[in-house]
Amino acid sequence: MSEQGKEMNEAQLNVHLLELLDLEAIDDFRDEFLEMHPYDQAKFYMLLIPEQRQKLYQFLSPEEMAEVFENLEIPEENYQELLSEMHPTFAADMLGEMYADDAVDVLNELDKEQVASYLTIMDGESAQEIKDLLHYEEDTAGSIMTTEYVAIRSHQTVRSAMQILRKEAPDAETIYYIFVIDEEKKLVGVVSLRDLIVSDEETMISDIMNERVVSASVADDQEIVAKTMRDYNFLAIPVVDFQKHLLGIITVDDVLDVIDEEASEDYSKLAGVSDVESMNTSSLQSAKKRLPWLVILLFLGMMTASLIGHFEDTLNKVAILAVFIPLIAGMSGNTGTQALAVAVRGLATGDIEREGIWKMIMRELGTGLIVGTSCGILVTGVVYVWQHDFFLGLLVGISIFATLIVATLAGALVPMLMHRLKIDPAVASGPFITTLNDLLSILIYFGLATTFMSYLQK
């Protein structure tokens, strides 16, 4: 970067670049812009209005623009709008210069006609790489892998392997791991860049490679791959088919995107939203995503109201019972949501599988007993002091005790049951658990009240 650029902070540099762009000072702009980190280039790109972006497309080559596009952090639906601003040939060339897995991520957000158009314009080799990845099912290892990697043979020497590495490194997404294949292109080992550097040039690759390679199947769910890379602290993992042929690799930057995507998706489900909403989502789109869960919860709520109606006689005789309905329902909902969060996280991280389901259940049962006993005793005392009625306080305290135990177990067991049924446990959303526990708490509370009505009427 020029001396002038080094002395500027980010905001000042962006203003300076905008001035150069508006003045169409192409040489000065390129000198400053191309010295920036690609992530900063992408942030600057998103500051521009369409007219300014049109100038940027004239100032940069498709290869330079590809690096900007690879670092964009925007809602997926915005890619179509940005590509439509470019000349089709420029857009196709840019996509062809991107790493194949990144280009596939962009193309997956376009209409089939647009994808076909770009692939037709694109050079044959790039188009074929992208086509090979496009047919893999979304959210699988195949859909996020890249085919830009370095592979060598086990019968080669370190010297010949380094020659291959120097030749292919510029186009490879990562060179920290070099994968070893046999004559049939089956994965047989892996060598780190460090091993190649420190080994004698005449050493055979077969002597220094690690034959115990952890790999991912092309059909594996992307979340499973992310967990594997996290557990082994990998920078990249090879992807193979059922016959162990090496198809591609998944790098750590792709896994970080997966972790972020899965976390956002699980959070949305926990909140009772069918899909992730961005700030650009319209009111109609948001309503469509939220309505299905809300309608289900509406009917569950009607069941709660109907249940209360069955205890109308009890309420008529002891009206004070109605005062404590929100307290008991709210406490059970809160406790169930806490247990739900622990269970969903344990399933997502694999902690429950390692520790065992029964250990998890017993721990939550113990937690429910302790919390229920503490809150039950506290509520009994408070209600007695407030209403001067020991039996009413005891009824509310026992109800709190019972509902907190049941709510805690429900919050833990429901997601584990869904996991066993091959349903995403995050679907056991907070609103769902809250409404379910409302039903259970009302049943327990009024069931006890009806049973001990004679004591309350005294």
- What's the 3-state SS for the chain? CCHHHHCCCHHHHHHHHHHHHHCCCHHHHHHHHCCCCHHHHHHHHCCCCHHHHHHHHHHCCHHHHHHHHHCCCCCCCHHHHHHHHCCHHHHHHHHHHCCHHHHHHHHCCCCHHHHHHHHHHCCHHHHHHHHHHHCCCCCEHHHHCECCCCEEECCCEHHHHHHHHHHHHHHCCCCCEEEEECCCCEEEEEEEHHHHHHCCCCCEHHHHCECCCCCEECCCEHHHHHHHHHHHCCCEEEEECCCCEEEEEEEHHHHHHHHHHHHHHHHHHHCCCCCCCCCCCCHHHHHHHHHHHHHHHHHHHHHHHHHHHHCHHHHHHCHHHHHHHHHHHHHHHHHHHHHHHHHHHHHHHCHHHHHCHHHHHHHHHHHHHHHHHHHHHHHHHHHHHHHCCHHHHHHHHHHHHHHHHHHHHHHHHHHHHHHHCCCCHHHCCHHHHHHHHHHHHHHHHHHHHHHCHHHHCC
Query: Looking at per-residue confidence, does 411 or 204 come out higher?
Result: 204
State yes or no: pLDDT of 268 exceeds 60: no
Superfamily of domain 151-251: CBS-domain (3.10.580.10)
pLDDT above 60 for 137: yes
pLDDT digits (tens, 9 = 90+) for 291-341: 676 677 677 777 777 777 777 777 676 677 788 888 888 888 888 888 887
In the chain, CATH 3.10.580.10 sits at: 151-251
The region of weakest confidence among 39-43, 136-140, 271-275, 447-451 is 271-275
- pLDDT for position 257: 81
Tally the residues of the chain: 458
Tell me what pLDDT residue 217 has. 94
Provide CATH code, domain 3-135: 1.25.60.10
Q: Is the pLDDT of residue 274 over 60?
A: no
- Is 283-456 a CATH 1.10.357.20 domain? yes
pLDDT of res. 297: 66
- pLDDT at position 176 over 70: yes
Nearest-angstrom CA–CA distance, 390 and 385? 9
**For residues 3-17, average pLDDT:** 73
pLDDT of the residue at 3: 46
The pTM of the full predicted model, rounded to 2 decimals, is 0.60
Q: What percentage of the chain has pLDDT greater than the value 70?
A: 87
Where, residue-wise, is CATH 1.10.357.20 in the chain?
283-456
Residues of the chain with CATH 1.25.60.10: 3-135
- Kindly report which listed range (58-62, 162-166, 391-395) carries the lowest average pLDDT score: 391-395
Residues 213 and 171 sit within 8 Å (Cβ to Cβ) = no
